[in-house]
Amino acid sequence: GSWRRSLSTQAPSHLEILGQRFSADDYTNITPAIISKTNKQLHLKPNHPLSTLRGLIESAYPDFTHASSLSPLVTPFQNFDELSFAADHPGRAVTDSYYANRNMMLRTHTSAHEVEMFRKGETKWLLTADVYRRDEIDASHYPVFHQVEGARIFDQTPNGMKEVEESNEYLSSLLSKSNILIEDVPHISEANPVQPGHDPLFSAALCQNLKLSLNHLMWKVFGEAARGSSGSEPLKVRWIEAFFPFTSPSYEVEVFFQGKWLEILGSGIIRQATLDTAGVQDKVGWAFGLGLERIAMVLYSVPDIRLFWSEDPRFLGQFEQGKIQTFKPYSKYPSCFKDVSFWTPQASAFHENDFCDIVRDTAGDLVEGVQRIDSFLHPKTNRTSLCYRVNYRSMDRSLSNEEINHVQNQVVDRLKAQFGVEIR
């Protein structure tokens, strides 16, 4: 779409990501700001809250394989097709995902490695990694975040069924010692069906295994770790029917924590097509994918998602590997708002994420938020007038008005050069 124009003006013909070179094409939209995040591996950085949270989750699955250093570069085929995403799924759009070019992208979720893990013969595994999505800018959205994928598959035989039942008994006994209140939906419903070719009894037992396993994990993370096992109020967890192209039935889990329901993860019974693609035969199982930042923000009381990327010792120095500690905010520097109003070219497909990426790439983590404050379609010229307000604030220092004006001017220049907009 609209990025194509940028190639003729200033985008390079090649880009280098993690030592690999890619030739740019009409899909290329990964910015240097994003490339600079690809080698950070916050989930492995000692003492970092995301690393502690990864460790805590791994400790709930001691007999699983733990993977955590797979490259974020995957093919669109791995990220989407192998997982039965429709050809026209919106997640594939260049407005939503980051592409090196048509053949290579940054994974949008850890599910992109499911087939690879199963193909290696893994039957119970966790995978922690950075994932990339083009998105809005505010305190809880960042174009890079971290997910943990977990999966377990069993033989589709009476012995496999016995293994599921034994695991269910074991997990139930662990849970009986917890103080947890679970709001559940039926395992299987008309809208959330058993897959064709699956034995309904086996599928129900697998759903039960998935739910017990994740309820236990929620207790480890939000019950035991966050408030000690003696908290008097029960931990509230609720299960909600969901839809993912690569699982059925599918569920989301929400946890009631600090007065709010928090979406934690997506999960479900793995579609047989995924296992077939991996060359795995006669097995069935479950998978889940959870986001680390949202959990870490509430567990550690971190008010802004950008802080996870901070190198400031006043942030990093507050944490110790394996410990959940409440973050003590240091003084906030003043923020500075700048507005820009412009006409988009006629019939252009200008997307809000295009604007956000220019701001991020120009201002880096100096941008705290972007808000569209006006939008107006001119009935005669068919052009749209947009006004965006950018909120600049450094987490580590005071910004001068001069410095911010300079950044904002660069944003405006790039807006003109890359999208041919007319400033109002």
Residues in contact with ligand FA5 by CB under 6 A are 109, 111, 133, 135, 141, 145, 147, 149, 244, 247, 263-268, 287-291, 293-294
Q: Please give the Cα distance from 122 to 177 (Å, whole number).
A: 30
Sign of CA dihedral 106, 111, 115, 116: positive
Q: Which of 44, 96, 35, 38 is nearest to 68 (CA)?
A: 44
25: number of Cβ within 10 Å: 14
φ/ψ region of 36 (left if φ > 0, alpha if ψ in -120 to 50, else beta) reads alpha
Nearer to ligand FA5, 137 or 395 (CB): 137
Token code pair at residue 321: 């590997």
Q: Which is nearer to ligand FA5, 264 or 340 (CB)?
A: 264
Q: How far is the CB of 42 from ligand FA5 (least distance, A)?
A: 13
Q: Is the dihedral of CA 333, 337, 411, 294 positive or negative?
A: positive
3-class SS letters over 244-306: ECCEEEEEEEEEEECCEEEEEEEEEEECHHHHHHCCCCCEEEEEEEEEHHHHHHHHCCCCCHH
In the complex, the smallest distance separating the C-beta of residue 134 from ligand FA5, rounded to whole angstroms, is: 10
Q: Quick one: 237 or 340, whose CB is closer to ligand FA5?
A: 237
CB of 143 to ligand FA5, least distance (A): 8
Would you say 52 or 111 has its CB closer to ligand FA5? 111
Query: Coil, strand or helix: which one is 234?
Result: coil
For residues 288 and 150, what is the distance between their CA atoms, to the nearest angstrom? 5
Nearest CB to ligand FA5, comparing residues 299 and 421: 299
Q: Which is nearer to ligand FA5, 219 or 244 (CB)?
A: 244
Q: How far is the CB of 327 from ligand FA5 (least distance, A)?
A: 17
Which residues in 96-241 belong to E strands, given as ranges?
A: 99-101, 104-106, 124-132, 144-155, 180-183, 235-241
* Closer Cβ to ligand FA5, 86 or 423, answer by number: 86
Q: What is the DSSP letter of 224?
A: I
Q: Supply the minimum distance, in Å, between the C-beta of residue 321 and ligand FA5.
A: 22
Shortest reach from residue 126's CB to ligand FA5, in Å: 12
Residue nearest ligand FA5 (C-beta atom): 291
| CB closer to ligand FA5 out of 136 and 396 | 136
**Which position has the token pair 């890619």?**
22
Residue found by looking up tokens 């600049």 in the block: 392
Length of the chain: 424
Cβ closest to ligand FA5, residue 140 vs residue 400:
140
The distance of closest approach from Cβ of residue 59 to ligand FA5 in the complex, given in angstroms and rounded to an integer, is: 20
- The HSE-up count of residue 94 (CA atoms within 13 Å, CB side) is 21
Give the shortest CB-267-to-ligand FA5 separation in angstroms.
5
Bridge partner residues of 146 (DSSP): 130
Least distance from C-beta 239 to ligand FA5, angstroms? 13
